[in-house]
Amino acid sequence: MTDNSADLVILGGGSGGYACAFRAAELGLSVVLVEKDKLGGTCLHRGCIPTKALLHAAEVADNAREGDQFGVKSSLEGIDIAGVNSYKDGVISRLYKGLQGLAKANKVTLVEGEGKFVAPNAVEVNGQRYVGKNVVLATGSYAKSLPGLEIGGRVITSDQALTLDFIPEKVVVLGGGVIGVEFASVWQSFGADVTIVEALPRLVPAEDEYASKQLERAFRRRGIKFKTGVKFSGAKQDDNGVQVTLENGDVLDADLLLVAVGRGPNGADFEAAGVTVDRGFVITDERLRTNLPNVFAVGDIVPGLQLAHRGFQQGIFVAEEIAGLQPKVIDEAGIPRVTYCKPEVASVGLTEAAAKEKYGSAEVFVYDLAGNGKSQILKTAGGVKLVKAPDGPVVGVTMVGERVGELIGEAQLIYSWEAYPEDVAPLIHAHPTQTEALGEAFLALAGKPLHVHG
């Protein structure tokens, strides 16, 4: 093969693209990976990693402020935003260096520059054409806005929010999904006055209604204001601030308006090369093949959950598919979902509403964290909700509480192995841990409610 041809040419070096590249290289395939910005994509540089670093800094601030609750005399002297950003950037930098090292170790040819998919087997970068026996489209997503709402000045997206060198006094967050509630959580912990505006009837509307109610209760206690079921109407800004108007006539004044209305796919350009695209999303079959032979798509440009770990798994899947290993199709419902605000929301499988739609009915059990020793030690409220198919396995788990994102691994195993409550009830959970809450919920659903008042 020439330098400009390979078994795989991958367009985009985010979670989906680099996972595909590394796995394909492991399997002995030659790989060209094209990235216009930095290896690691949105997740590492403008998404999951920096936001979670900010959320951890926010947790440390809360711990300092609330030490009295635990008999510890501590107070919060303030937030050094330059120090916070330095900590966040240090985390990104170390992970980025690690990725670059892996690309070299795997002998992946990394091409820096903006790539264009110009033919069913070719990508062009900086005037050079790279030809692949297979092409993988992994161009990710961008922060969306609303029609007529210009981003600029005091109107920002998560991209700008991550690089702010000041803490706003008053913020309006447009959108009560994952990105919106995470930033609202950070800014509230940093001392800002925060109001969330969500057009749908509840916060985190994609989650089970139980999670929304728990989160809304926690946010009220924290002083985070939110208006649900009301639509944005317009925004005006000047040197002093931004004025946000809502369709119900409410007017909100703030220093910043964060537009967190979701992410749009970077797939529209592929139509010209003959790929079937719908509103910017690349349409694939369950094996992630597009309508063109030997052209695949992974990550945020494929309709479904826009999550880094979904893209990562899809990248591995496509590499193995190309290598002829016939990997098992990814079950979209089995992809865990975590929102890292305070408290966290973690879920896998079906919500109660989705299960009822699929099966006609569902058995549901909720275990309150008030009965869990470790949750009492941590002073966190929330619970575990299990959704079971009629005469069938558990098909959904939703958890709310501090650190429950760390528990979703077990819930995912339970969902994936299609376990019945009596399969899980005998498993022993270490005491005192929050995983016991999951164990107790399954004991109760199996008819052995030891710490539950009937």
Q: What DSSP string describes 302-315?
A: SSS---HHHHHHHH
Neighbours of 338 (CB within 10 A): 20
- Taking only the tens place, the pLDDT of each residue in 152-196 is 999 999 999 999 999 999 999 999 999 999 999 999 999 999 999
What pLDDT does residue 1 have? 42
pLDDT digits (tens, 9 = 90+) for 128-155: 999 999 999 999 999 999 999 999 999 9
**Confidence at 72, pLDDT banded by 50, 70, 90:** very high
- List, in order of start, the domains of the chain with CATH numbers: 5-142+264-332 (3.50.50.60), 155-261 (3.50.50.60), 343-445 (3.30.390.30)
Mark out the alpha helices in 11-66 (DSSP H runs): 15-26, 41-46, 48-65
Give the ranges where 147-288 is alpha helix by DSSP (H): 158-161, 178-189, 209-222
Q: How far is the C-alpha of 324 from the C-alpha of 447, rounded, in Å?
A: 46
C-alpha distance from residue 333 to each of 153, 198, 243, 266, 420 (Å): 39, 25, 40, 24, 17
> In what helix (H) or strand (E) does residue 111 lie, and over which residues does it extend?
strand 109-112
Three-state DSSP class for 228?
strand
pLDDT of residue 209: 98
pTM of the model: 0.96
What positions carry a catalytic annotation?
431
Ordered alpha helix ranges (H), 271-335: 308-322
pLDDT of residue 451: 66
In this structure, how many other beta carbons lie within 10 angstroms of the beta carbon of residue 362?
A: 22
Asked whether residue 295 carries a pLDDT value surpassing 80, the answer given is yes
